[in-house]
Amino acid sequence: MPGTTATDLPSFPFPELNDNPFDPLAYQERLPEQGPITRVALPTGGWAWLLTQLADVREVLRSPAFSADIMKPGFPLLRPLPAQRDARDRAGVFIRMDPPEHGRYRRMLTPEFMIKSVRRLEPLIQRTVEGFLDDMIAAGPPADLVASFALPVPSLVICHLLGVPYDDHDFFQSRSRVLLSNTTSVADAQAAADELQDYLSRLVTAKERDGGDDLLGRLVAHRLRDGQLTHDEAIGMALLLLVAGHETTANMIGLSTLVLLRHREQFEALGVDPGRAPALVEELLRYLTIVRSGLPRIAVEDAVVGGQQIRAGEGVIALLPAANRDEAVFVDADRFDVDRGGQHHVAFGFGVHQCIGQPLARTELRIALAALAQRLPTLRLAVPPDEVAVRPSFIHGLQKLPVTW
């Protein structure tokens, strides 16, 4: 393998298969038979090691030998970095930081997303779910479940939690979508990020002036006022939470509904017994693994992963959807099996960067899917299955889900 040029390698990311939105990319067919760790060519030039086994993915994401800092030379990028203009672009963006710097920011937010904190949000989530279902039922059938339910529920919840006016959701949803689309140019992505930063800057300023009993209000009152956090850092953190907080859960609700309509017995059982929701949600997380292009890292020291020597300065991509279909761990991994007990999936990532909002995401999914099954037991697709299209995005999701009942 040494001496192979990047042009000889399979191109990553692999194209989405529109005819099967559940298949985590036919990556096996695209890779030469060289074992579980192989090299792929990146769209930004160069190459990276592609990790597809659960054990290797977990090891790398938890190892201090690998960095999440995209500014390190050689970092495996799927989209070119925009030219750095000012410090605001990086301030507070702790998903791109390594310990110990990363922990300082993350720990300002962890209490907000603890299970017991999320439990206090359950009545709001329940009301939100019921409210959007009421509206959808009153207006339909038919309906686009993505636009009338899957997207507005997490969007309203994250707005409430952060203290962002929900009336502005069209604005930040459209900009987030541009940011996350894998067909967006660097310039357009930068313009979308600029608009979101300006918006959040005004909001942080308003919280400094008026306070607020919400996450941003608390961040300003407890961290910004006493100098632990700068204005720009607060913007960066708010941007991460706002973008990550609605698109991911929204896509999971849409795709999960489609899975349940294909596994009708599970949908009906959930309607009768909402206690089935936690196990169902775990299997949906494993089966769907919406972070399709995986998590990139760069080796900062030499390491051996799964028997493969990886040198400092080389990039790796932890391919989460492949790891969650690892046959060595999940028996008959391509089968949707609610009773498999597959909690050790990596749908939320692994290591210190593992999704901070996972208790919130799980709760929203549980409540949304159970309410859907209870309120609309006759829910079904309003179009042929092959007309349900996926969205071109770094986060896997459906464009629309036309349903009737």
Partner 1 sequence: MRVRADRDRCCGSGNCVMTVPDVFDQDDAEGLVLVRLAEVPAALREGVRQAAELCPAAAIEVEEDQA
Residues that bind partner 1 (CB under 8 A): 61-62, 103, 106-107, 109-116, 343-344, 348-356, 358-359
User: DSSP readout, 175-216?
Assistant: HHHHHHBTT--HHHHHHHHHHHHHHHHHHHHHHHHH--SSHH
Closer Cβ to partner 1, 240 or 381, answer by number: 240
Smallest distance from partner 1 to CB 98, Å: 12
Closer Cβ to partner 1, 61 or 252, answer by number: 61
Give the tokens for residue 271.
């309607």
Cross-strand pairs, 299: 66
Closer Cβ to partner 1, 87 or 115, answer by number: 115
* 394: CB partners within 8 A, 6+ apart: 78, 180, 181, 182, 291, 292, 293
Closer Cβ to partner 1, 152 or 351, answer by number: 351
* Angle at 157 (CA atoms; ends 155, 160), nearest 5 degrees: 110
Q: CA quadruple 94, 98, 101, 102: dihedral positive or negative?
A: positive
At residue 403, the 3 state secondary structure works out as: strand
Smallest distance from partner 1 to CB 295, Å: 12
Smallest distance from partner 1 to CB 116, Å: 7
Smallest distance from partner 1 to CB 363, Å: 11
Give the tokens for residue 323.
């790891």
Q: CA quadruple 132, 135, 137, 139: dihedral positive or negative?
A: negative
Smallest distance from partner 1 to CB 366, Å: 12
Q: How many CA atoms lie within 13 A of 375 on its CB side?
A: 19
Smallest distance from partner 1 to CB 96, Å: 15
Q: Cis ω on the peptide bond leading into residue 385 (within 30° of 0)? A: no
The Cα 226–Cα 234 span in angstroms is 13
Closer Cβ to partner 1, 102 or 375, answer by number: 102
Closer Cβ to partner 1, 62 or 264, answer by number: 62
Smallest distance from partner 1 to CB 217, Å: 17
Closer Cβ to partner 1, 221 or 352, answer by number: 352
CB atoms within 10 A of CB 146: 24
